Amino acid sequence: MKTKNTGFVRLYFATIYSVKGLIAAFKSEGAVRQELAVMLILIPIALVLEVSLAERILLVASLVIVLIAELLNTAIESLADRVSTEIHVLIAKAKDIGSAAVFVALMLAVFTWGAILYNYFTIK
């Protein structure tokens, strides 16, 4: 039986695997590239807006949540495609639910940015 790494060794390998996952998602998924491009534009805007620290955190966090949802959706789709490329009701359901998670995260980001920007531009 293989012994599991612990401490900093485990952290080192976990970081390597995470970076590999980010690179794989970036290379294979247009949606991940699009979301990162939007983040590259919106995060600097969030950092320069004269809003409270809590609002700034919400602006950035809402974008990160979208990326997290997209990465999980990509993982679900990859695993589902590995299990079977045939159309199956349960695989379709899993993929649809993953897609719905991304949609909900996007709506959260739109709502968060909309509410904070509305407040920023109207209450000055």
Mean predicted confidence (pLDDT) in 8-12: 90
Whole-number mean pLDDT of the chain?
94
Kindly name the residue from 50, 70, 77, 86 that is annotated as catalytic. Answer: 70
All structural domains of the chain, each given as residue ranges with its CATH number in brackets, are: 30-122 (1.10.287.3610)
Model confidence at 123, in pLDDT bands (50, 70, 90)?
A: confident
Residue 55, pLDDT > 70, answer: yes
pLDDT of residue 39: 98
pLDDT band at 124 (very low <50, low <70, confident <90, very high): low
DSSP 49-91: S---HHHHHHHHHHHHHHHHHHHHHHHHHHHHHHH-SS--HHH
Q: What is the pTM of this model?
A: 0.88
For the segment 59-63, the average pLDDT, to the nearest whole number, is: 98
Mean pLDDT of 41-53: 97
Confidence of residue 47 (pLDDT cuts 50, 70, 90): very high
Asked if residue 84 has pLDDT above 90, the reply is no
Share of the chain above pLDDT 90, in %: 83
Catalytic-residue membership of 86: no
Neighbours of 64 (CB within 10 A): 14
Asked if residue 1 has pLDDT above 80, the reply is no
Q: Are 67 and 74 in contact (CB under 8 A)?
A: no
How far is Cα 109 from Cα 2, in angstroms, rounded to an integer?
Answer: 43
